[in-house]
Structure 1
Amino acid sequence: MTAADWTPIFVLPNIPLDAAIGCEVAALAPANDHRVAGLKRTHPTLRRFLNRFADNFGQKFEPSVLILDAAAPPIFRDVAALASFRDLIALSAITHGRALELRHPHGHRVLFGEAFAIYPWMLDRHYEDVIGSTSAILGTHELSRFKGQSSPALFRTSLGESDIDQPLLAALMARWRRRYEAAEPAWEDVALMRSLNMAYHASLLPAGTDTTFYDVGRVISLWVSAFEILVHPGGNGQANRDKVFEMIERTCWAKAESGLLAHDTGGKTKVKRTLASWLYQMLYECRNDFLHGNPVERDNLILPTPQRTIFEYAAPLYRIALTAFLPLTYDVPMPSAEDARALGGYIADRMDFMGPQKSTEEALLTATRPPASHTARRTRVIRPAR
Structure 2
Amino acid sequence: MTWAPIYVLPNIPLDAAIGCNLAVLAPAHDERVTALKRAHPNFRAFLRRFTDNFGEKFEPCVLLLHASAPESFRHVSAIASFRDAVAIAAISHARAHQLSHPRGMRVLFGEAFAIYPWMLDRNFEDIIGSTPALLGTHLVSSFKGQSSPSVFRTNLNPSAVDQPLLDALLICWRRRYEAAEPEWKDIALMRSLNMAYQASLLPAGTEATFYDVGRILSLWVSAFEILVHPGGNGISNRDKVFDLIEQAPWLIRASRDLAHDTGPAKKLVKRTLASWLYQKLNDSRNDFLHGNPVERDSLVLEIPQRGIFEYAAPLYRIALTAFLPLVYDRPQPSADEPSALGAWLADRMTFTDPQRSAEAALQTVLQPPLDPLAGHTRVTRPAPQNGPSQ
Same fold (TM over 0.5): yes
Q: How far has the Cα of 1:147 moved from its partner? A: 0.1
The structure 1 residue matched to 2:281, chosen from 280, 283, 302, is 283
Q: Which residue number corresponds to residue 220 of structure 1?
A: 217
1:157-196 to structure 2, matched below 5 A, reads: 157-196=154-193
Q: Which residue is 1:40 aligned to? A: 37
Q: Does 1:269 align with 2:267?
A: yes
Q: Secondary structure of 2:267's match?
A: coil
Deviation readout 1:202-224 (Å, 9 max, x if unpaired) = 00000000000000000000000
Identity among equivalent pairs (%): 69
For 1:133 and 1:21, the matched residues in 2 are separated by 25
AA at the equivalent of 2:135? L
Select the residue among 9, 25, 28 that pairs with 1:28: 25
What is the rounded CA distance, in whole Å, between the counterparts of 1:192 and 1:47 in structure 2? Answer: 36
1:234 — aligned with what?
231
Shift of 1:126: 1.0
C-alpha distance in 1, partners of 2:274/2:87? Answer: 22
Equivalence map 1:1-386=2 (5 Å): 4-267=1-264, 268-374=266-372
Specify the SS of the correspondent of 1:334.
coil
1:183 Cα deviation (Å)?
1.3
Cα root mean square deviation, aligned = 0.8
**1:343 maps to amino acid:** L
1:314-335 CA-to-partner distances (Å, cap 9, x unmatched) read 0000000000000000001111
Q: TM-score, normalised by structure 2?
A: 0.95
Q: Distance in 2 between matches of 1:40 and 1:55?
A: 21
* 1:71 Cα offset (Å): 2.8
Aligned letter for 1:177? R
The worse-fitting range, judged by mean Cα deviation, of 309-318 and 341-350 is 341-350
> In structure 2, what is the Cα distance between the partners aligned to 1:71 and 1:328?
28
Residue 327 of structure 2 aligns to which amino acid in structure 1?
T
Distance 2:182 2:221 in 1: 24
Residue 106 of structure 1: how far off its partner (Å): 2.8
AA partner of residue 261 (structure 2):
D
Per the TM alignment, residue 49 of structure 1 is displaced from its structure 2 partner at its CA by 0.1
Q: What letter matches 1:318 in structure 2?
A: Y
Q: CA deviation at 1:279?
A: 0.2
Count of equivalent residues: 372
Q: Aligned-pair distance for 1:266?
A: 2.4
The one-letter code of the counterpart of 1:148 is: G
Instruction: In structure 2, give the amino acid aligned to 1:13.
Output: P
Q: Over residues 19-49 of structure 1, what are the superposed CA-to-partner deviations in whole Å (9 max), with x where a residue is unaligned?
A: 0011111111001111110000000000000
- Structure 1 residue runs without a partner (length 5+): 376-386
Stretches of 4+ aligned residues off by more than 6 angstroms: none
Looking at structure 1, the residues matched to 167 and 156 of structure 2 have their Cα atoms a distance apart, in angstroms, of 17
Structure 2: tracts of 5 or more residues without a match: 374-390
> What is the TM-score normalised by the length of structure 1?
0.96
Counterpart-to-counterpart distance in 2, 1:279 and 1:106: 23
For residue 214 of structure 1, give the secondary structure of its aligned residue in structure 2.
Answer: helix
1:246 alignment partner, SS class: helix
